[in-house]
Amino acid sequence: MTHARTTAPVPARERTDTGTPAFRRPAPAPVTPETLRALRGVRRRALPRLLVVTAALTALLLALSCLALSTGDFTVPLGQVSRALAGRGDAASEFVVQHVRLPRVATALAAGAAFGMSGAVFQSLVRNPLASPDVIGITSGASTGAVLAIVVLHLGGPPVPLAAVVGAVLTAVLMYALAWRRGVSGYRLVLVGIGVSAVLGSVVSYLTTRAEVHTAQEAMLWLTGSLGGADWDKARPLLLCLIPLLPLTVALAARVLPALSLGDDAAAGLGLRVEAGRLWLVLAAVCLAAVATAA
């Protein structure tokens, strides 16, 4: 009586540049229609919870915004906030609500939305909760650009936020180039970003310690950030930048992220240009973080 031996399939060999044999990775399993239907079913089951959480957070955000418009050195009763916003309140309430507090609330909401969406994109791309714009160096690049403009170039006004945006974009390009190795790995991008952030933090510290006192105070005030001086002249550029950036990022994320969640090989099999899609999505997230930091 003979027993047939079953052996695992041996991977095909190929020759490397050094002449030593190497093993090829097996081809990824194709994405079947059944897999796609299962993914759609999971998303449909998660939709009710998503809607409930979104509605609750939106209501909380509106309540906190009304509270911010009401409280301060000059208190405006909550019942009069809506009248002041509509232009039917007294002169003092309208001035305080429309020209002092509303720009601050609008800047805070817009910057928060930009930072939140940017962080969500980075974390989804690299599948790592550490990949927020402040951890991987995007906001550090913006801060370094602004400090260079203030301390080295002695600039002020609108050129400083523009330098912040340029610094964030250049930092993202440097990180992407350093993390590239036949593609960008999530963990490699996070580690490179942490290192770049540490280096840029050292540059900022060196520039502020070598600058004159008044210049260093101006740079530190910019680095700390504040909504105290926010007005419509400062809030308007942020809002105008977010009008195209938010829909563009949502559209890119809706097209790229579901395919990338299946893996690069499967996404390429579905017709997605993986690296191009990832690069455009990273650029959109960097711009969101940069304009929020500049504001």
Distance of CA 276 to the CA centre of its chain: 18
The predicted structure's pLDDT at residue 107: 92
Mean pLDDT over each residue of the chain, to the nearest integer:
80
**Which DSSP helix (H) or strand (E) runs through 205?**
helix 186-210
Q: Which amino acid is at 33?
A: P
Q: Per-residue pLDDT for 1 more than 50?
A: no
Q: Name the percent of the chain lying above pLDDT 70.
A: 83
The reply to whether 31 falls in a domain is no
The reply to whether 204 falls in a domain is yes
CA–CA distance, 152 with 206 (Å, rounded to integer): 12
Q: Per-residue pLDDT for 35 more than 80?
A: no
The reply to whether 140 falls in a domain is yes
Domain total in the chain: 1
CA–CA distance, 134 with 80 (Å, rounded to integer): 38
Q: Name the percent of the chain lying above pLDDT 90.
A: 12
Report whether 70 contacts 81 (CB < 8 A): yes
| pLDDT tens digits for range 215-226 | 888 888 778 877
Q: Per-residue pLDDT for 28 more than 60?
A: no
The predicted structure's pLDDT at residue 108: 92
By mean pLDDT, which of 151-155, 185-189, 239-243 is the weakest? 185-189
What's the residue count for the chain? 295
Beta strands 13-15 and 21-23, pairing class: antiparallel
CATH label of the domain that carries residue 195: 1.10.3470.10
Pick 192 or 184 by higher pLDDT.
192
Confidence of residue 109 (pLDDT cuts 50, 70, 90): very high
Q: Which domain holds residue 181?
A: 117-294
Confidence of residue 152 (pLDDT cuts 50, 70, 90): confident
The reply to whether 76 falls in a domain is no
The reply to whether 173 falls in a domain is yes
Matching residue, tokens 């993914």: 39
Strand partners, 23: 13
Confidence of residue 39 (pLDDT cuts 50, 70, 90): low
The reply to whether 267 falls in a domain is yes
| pLDDT tens digits for range 246-295 | 999 998 888 888 777 777 677 777 677 777 778 888 888 888 988 888 88
The reply to whether 2 falls in a domain is no
Matching residue, tokens 């599948």: 127
* Mean pLDDT, residues 88-115: 87
The reply to whether 146 falls in a domain is yes
| pLDDT tens digits for range 204-251 | 889 888 888 888 888 887 788 778 778 888 888 889 989 999 999 998
Q: Per-residue pLDDT for 23 more than 50?
A: no
Q: Which amino acid is at 247?
A: P
